Amino acid sequence: MDEYQIDAYPNFSPIDFDTKNISSCSNDKYFNVEFECTNMYVLSARKFQTINDTKCHKFSNVSKDKIMQETTIVSWLSQMDVPQDAFGIVVAKILECARDMVRAHKNVRVIPIRVNIVVTRASEDESDEDGEDGSDERSESDEAEEGLEVEEEKNCSICFENFNFNVGVPMPCLHLFHIKCIRGWLEKGNSCPLCRHQLPSE
């Protein structure tokens, strides 16, 4: 069964969105919405093997009236191959963020929003690891590993900032990190910064 991590938050960083189509005399508010969608395929939960596929999508100069319509956001999600059963959560997060930003930034005409969507998809052949007769042939060490619980993290262990505005991405060992933080870490090595679990190298 797929699992989702979804967050929408203000993104007031210098991103070059095209605003030339916005009338300078207009007092209407517009939104620039940037999505980062990551599909994390768990090839083998026991061997901690995953493959990540991340795509970015941008929607510029979206009027306030248009973004407040659920159909607008649903049409975006359909284009991005986001699973339909996640639509409701994503729409709710974006609408909540948009409403909060309109109230908080009354003098800002172009409001940037960042949406992070992480879909963790289980391997279809994970069940093949069981015995041929349907019994689960697990060693004592496998059962001991499954008995370990990873404490839920509230802060990224690399930058030490919390996950309030940035979604935490799970490693195969279930430790959470910000997407940008763990990418930088994995460029230098192939282990979890916390437990040093070795990831398969290409």
Contact call for residues 98 and 111 (beta carbons, < 8 A):
yes
Q: What is the pLDDT of residue 135?
A: 46
Q: What is the pLDDT of residue 119?
A: 85
Those residues whose C-beta lies under 8 Å from the C-beta of residue 125, and which sit 6 or more positions away, are: none
**Mean pLDDT on 39-65:** 80
Does residue 18 carry a pLDDT above 90? no
Indicate yes or no: pTM above 0.85. Answer: no
**Mean pLDDT on 56-81:** 91
Please report the sign of the dihedral spanned by the C-alpha atoms of residue 188, residue 189, residue 195, residue 200.
positive
Residue 43: C-alpha distances to residues 121, 127, 136, 158 (Å): 9, 11, 18, 26
Q: How far is CA 109 from the centre of its chain?
A: 27
Instruction: Identify the band that residue 128 occupies on the pLDDT scale cut at 50, 70 and 90.
Output: very low
Residues of the chain with CATH 3.30.40.10: 152-202
Q: How far is CA 116 from the centre of its chain?
A: 4
Q: Tell the CATH superfamily of the 152-202 domain.
A: Zinc/RING finger domain, C3HC4 (zinc finger) (3.30.40.10)
Mean pLDDT computed over every residue of the chain: 75
Instruction: Identify the band that residue 161 occupies on the pLDDT scale cut at 50, 70 and 90.
Output: confident
Instruction: Identify the band that residue 173 occupies on the pLDDT scale cut at 50, 70 and 90.
Output: confident
132, two tokens: 């041929």
H-type helices in 48-107, by residue range?
64-67, 70-79, 87-104
Contact call for residues 73 and 94 (beta carbons, < 8 A):
yes
